[in-house]
Amino acid sequence: MKTQRIAPRSGVAFELSKGQALTVIDPQGTQVADLLAYSRGDVREVISNGRTFDYEETIALTTGNRLWSNRSNPLLAIEEDTVGRHDFLLTPCSEATFRRFYPDKAVHPGCFGNLAQALGPWGIEPDAIPCAFNVFMNVPVAPDGSLRVDPPTSRPGDFIRLRALADLVIGLTACSAYASNGGSFKPIDYRIE
């Protein structure tokens, strides 16, 4: 397929079959894409940050790591990654996080609302949206455990390629939050092969 574009501050969902590769591209640099993956056969199975941290024994996921489900199955394998800096600690930005972190800005459905809307046709409810794998999101953890959300280090054309290890439903956004993309809302591109 040809490369698809996700407009700034929006999200999409689509099916990815076992063996297919999904490439997520940052076309302009310094942008985040929240990624969710559900098992198509039973959407109660979904990627889990905790199971992934447990099995991969790291919170810094890159080439060679896999994303595991709440049922302890690997759903996606990271095959290539030109950035090496992603986040799996934080939940998608939402109306509530906008109210909290940007009280002077207009409230936006955020990646959470965009994912909920895009995934609805597969019977996935908002409460079934866990922590997303936040592609290109740059969240340094200090030695004392404190977190910071810094602008992504991705440059124009940087990408990550993930291989489906099961038949999946994917949710994917161009992030809506100010902090995660340095205050500039940009598109995200993706390609299925």
Among 3, 60, 80, 105, contact with a second copy (rule: CB under 8 A): 60
127 is a site residue for a second copy (CB under 8 A): yes
Binding span for a second copy by CB under 8 A among 3-11, 14-22, 25-33, 50-58 = 50-58
Among 2, 121, 146, 193, binds a second copy (CB under 8 A): 146
Residue 47 C-beta: closest distance to a second copy, Å: 12
CA distances from 150 to 85, 87, 117, 177, 178 (A): 11, 11, 27, 12, 10
Q: Is 178 in the site for a second copy (CB under 8 A)?
A: no
Phi, psi of 125 (to 5 degrees): -90, 160
The window from 12-20, 70-78, 154-162, 185-193 that contacts a second copy (CB under 8 A) reads: 70-78
Question: Cα(1)–Cα(170) distance, rounded to whole angstroms?
Answer: 16
Q: Which of 2, 104, 145, 193 binds a second copy (CB under 8 A)?
A: 145
- Whole-number minimum distance, CB 191 to a second copy, in Å? 28
For residue 150, state whether it binds a second copy (rule: CB under 8 A).
no
Please, are residues 71 and 164 in contact by the beta-carbon 8 Å criterion? no
CA-nearest of 50, 67, 75, 30 to 175 is 30
Chain residues binding a second copy by CB under 8 A are 44-45, 48-51, 53-55, 57-60, 70-72, 89-91, 94, 96-97, 100, 125, 127, 129-131, 141, 143-148
